Amino acid sequence: MVMKIAENKTLDSALRALQLIFAIIVMGTDGYAIHAFRGHTAYVHFKFGNFYAYYGVPDAWGFLMFCAGWTVLTVIFHLIAGVRFADRALIGYLRVAVEAVAVLSWLAGFIAVAVQISTDICSAGKHSCGSLTAATVFSGLEWLLFIVTVARTAMLVFNSSRKPKNSTTKPGVDV
């Protein structure tokens, strides 16, 4: 029963399509938040001197954009690897590794951005807060989708019985 769910191509295609759609949504909302934030310069006065400090876009917002781009590459990799190299053991292990990197990246990305929503970086007067909240929600959903697909991929790769390749040499030929 479990292997039937793991081998269901329709379910896999639907999950990959949702991952791609959510990644595009995160790219759009996070990209708008980055564009609307527009860093600012502050004049800082100290006892020992003065300087201008530039406060740019937080790094976590850019990391969330990286996660969305990584998801697009992951979906493309799984489409190509699932069709052409389905019987190769190394490709199966690579599929699990790519999924694991994506799961950990989305977890780190959406937590890092969610922590910054309640700070003064994203106060009520900023225009980017609504889209950043939407990006955080969709990135959390993307993480949940990757939890499901990494479990399915791991079950498929580690529970499958691969047949060894036959030798190309003839039995009576001296080597």
In a domain, 164, yes or no: no
Whole-structure pTM value: 0.78
Q: How confident is the model at residue 43 (pLDDT cuts 50, 70, 90)?
A: confident
Q: Tell me how far apart the alpha carbons of residues 102 and 133 are, in angstroms, rounded to a whole number.
A: 21
In a domain, 175, yes or no: no
In a domain, 91, yes or no: yes
In a domain, 168, yes or no: no
In a domain, 21, yes or no: yes
Q: CB neighbours (10 Å) of residue 34?
A: 21
Over its C-alpha atoms, the chain yields an Rg (Å, rounded) of 23
In a domain, 16, yes or no: yes
Domain that residue 40 falls in: 2-159
Average pLDDT for residues 86-109, to the nearest whole number? Answer: 86
Question: Domain total for the chain?
Answer: 1
- Give tens-digit pLDDT for 76-91: 988 887 666 556 677 8
In a domain, 165, yes or no: no
In a domain, 149, yes or no: yes
